[in-house]
Amino acid sequence: MTIDITQDHIRALIARAGISQREVARRMDINDRTVRRYCKYGGTVQFVMALEWIASQNDTKKGD
Number of domain units in the chain: 1
- The mean pLDDT of the chain is 92
Give pLDDT tens digits for 1-32: 788 999 999 999 999 999 999 999 999 999 99
- In-domain check, residue 1: no
Given a cut of 80, whether residue 45 has pLDDT beyond it is yes
The whole-angstrom separation of Cα 49 and Cα 51 is 5
Residue-range definition of the domain harbouring residue 38: 13-63
- In-domain check, residue 33: yes
The amino acid sitting at 48 is: V
- In-domain check, residue 2: no
Given a cut of 60, whether residue 64 has pLDDT beyond it is no
Given a cut of 70, whether residue 62 has pLDDT beyond it is no
Q: Sign (positive/negative) of CA torsion 40, 44, 48, 51?
A: negative
- In-domain check, residue 37: yes
Determine if the pTM surpasses 0.75: yes
